[in-house]
Structure 1
């Protein structure tokens, strides 16, 4: 079975430029391919993880990945899937985000000698001569065709700046640059990138008269089409300081039954026979599949030790376990308890992202202290509760923290 067949069987493949040629190429040769990552935050999120899994499958099959970091394109911002123009980032912010991406990517891709490359498109985009770019590249782009692309079409009514209109040309230039320098003949991307990746392959064919290819993988969505990876605190990050391993584990442990098989196929390396078996479980048995999914994904992202700790914490709170040592824990001094409201304490310890979020959850009766609802935003911990060895905080239905008084 070729890697294209593997990706197809697992449900990754969405749109393909030259399917038969790509199948033959991936079967007969070692192919250099790339995926671009714009540094829009200081951590990768679970949406990026799908792309990293595609890269990992391709690398395991003997192909060479290029992880392209968007130090140049990040200065413009991709209009695909956005209602408004992205906020412009400083060079310092972009460089910081790139450093964070590099560290995280090395967990999933082997960048040792000859096996993969990591490059930054700022190295060539920032030094481009604009007139030269227009003459060498711009001449190959039809404005009419660009405007018909989905990434631009949905923005036309609300307004599309000339600034953003250049993004497709910049991304296409990236492909051409990597083709010339590294013999990169294949670009991959999420399905919202179809217009951009197709434009890049077309540019190489026009400029070089040689074949170049692309395909997209599907975005991580629920069975009813909604984007996955959103939590009460925002995105589901791969950085443990932004989304703890326990929160990460719990997200996958609590997904809808209908989404289990798809997530097992896309986000783990379990054999497809096992994926289909687990996905076919019904009623209470599907929880077994969710536990395996949560453990496997957390293990890939955070390591076996953190995955095991998260699993034990979950079992202590929701299953037969009794050891609370692995439940997310924070310490509070008696002075803080005496002087601060519970809301202030929970904000200081990042249980709530902000006071406004905390007030909203308390008002909606979504905060519990030792299984008792807290409905007063000015509530202070009472003397009798202070004598407890473990104070359990529950936010919503299934998010727990342990507070220790020191």
Structure 2
């Protein structure tokens, strides 16, 4: 399937400058494209996967990726609908640039004919004087056209600084610089960047007379109306120190049936036939969650590696008694218990009934005694038989953790101090 047809089938092209002309240029020979990531936080989140994985698809089709991390634009910030951004210190942005450069690297290859090129727009923006910026860049931007940008119109009454108003010029200048330095003729990004991206196309034409391409992907939405990439604990980050591989896997595994097929089209590298088969399974056997499992495994392997994904799957089984808890690393166990809910217990001796109640799997010690008596209470997957027995701290996992379970589905964690 031609890359343009594949992107279209997957719903990855919401708007484009001239898709037929882009198809012809792709067929005529290798093109270079760029996609940008602004360092507005210490890590990218799952919403950025749309752009990273689209870049991967384009590279697989023979196009050369130029991956831009905005060391300059990240110090300014694209205007938001609501209010001015807080400007982060340059040294903070510089650290975030390095973090994000490392995060996007695994999605592409830096070898071969279409080897990816990492760039930082601070390299050319930092040396641009105010006079040069106004004369060489600003001269090509009609203010009336800039005022028509939706986010700018929304901010005119509440107020927008010249700093944020000028962001579009900086991003457009990136396209011109990349065209001159690396022969970039395609830019893509999220649909919220359409105004900035087309401004860049127009700027390249005005300044050099060249015609270049652009397209944007849709923003990912959720059927229940909540924001994609969010969970009860906040954003789902790509940094394993901010969102554990276990929580990352669970985010995809818990995806709504109404969303999962579109997520597969947007993000998975499975074929059309495979995705259609998973769509059929979601309709006929939703309880099996085969589509969610497939995407969760694919995304976790891609971001964190096969070994980490295997640990996550083992943890999911072990918590419910279908695998050995002792096979888990401490980091994976703690991450899994944190998702389930973990209660800290002090150093005082504690009975089985008290532990069950404190962990929250039962509402009281009397209910805990009934659960033990009925044979439905477990500690580290071992069936409990005496609710009055003191918890043996020497049998805890890694000397301090306990997996407490009632029945097949209700689990919690406990951390007992030595």
Using the size of structure 2 for normalisation, the TM-score is 0.80
Pick closer, same or farther for the CA change 1:399–1:228 going to 2, 3 Å.
farther
CA deviation after TM superposition for structure 1 residue 285, in Å: 4.6
Pick closer, same or farther for the CA change 1:322–1:230 going to 2, 3 Å.
same
Correspondence for 1:346: none
Correspondence for 1:338: 347
Distance 1:143 1:132 in 2: 18
Pick closer, same or farther for the CA change 1:284–1:185 going to 2, 3 Å.
closer
Structure 2: give runs of 5+ residues left out of the alignment. Answer: 338-343, 349-356, 365-387
What is the correspondence of 1:68-87 to structure 2 with a 5 Å cutoff? 68-79=68-79, 81-87=80-86
SS at match of 2:14: strand
Pick closer, same or farther for the CA change 1:328–1:152 going to 2, 3 Å.
farther
Correspondence for 1:222: 222
Correspondence for 1:371: 361
Whether contact under 8 Å (1:238, 1:301) holds in the other structure is yes
**Residue among 380, 402, 405 paired with 1:391:** 402
Pick closer, same or farther for the CA change 1:303–1:148 going to 2, 3 Å.
same
Correspondence for 1:292: 294
Pick closer, same or farther for the CA change 1:55–1:225 going to 2, 3 Å.
farther
Whether contact under 8 Å (1:223, 1:259) holds in the other structure is yes
Distance 1:76 1:217 in 2: 23
Whether contact under 8 Å (1:33, 1:66) holds in the other structure is yes
Whether contact under 8 Å (1:16, 1:214) holds in the other structure is yes
Correspondence for 1:329: 334
SS at match of 2:318: helix
Pick closer, same or farther for the CA change 1:157–1:311 going to 2, 3 Å.
farther
Distance 1:368 1:179 in 2: 62
Distance 2:412 2:219 in 1: 29
1:209-235 Cα offsets, whole Å, 9 max, x none, are 111111001122213554311122221
Whether contact under 8 Å (1:4, 1:26) holds in the other structure is no
Aligned length: 365
The alignment yields a C-alpha RMSD, in angstroms, of: 2.7
Whether contact under 8 Å (2:253, 2:292) holds in the other structure is yes
Correspondence for 2:29: 29
Whether contact under 8 Å (2:347, 2:416) holds in the other structure is no
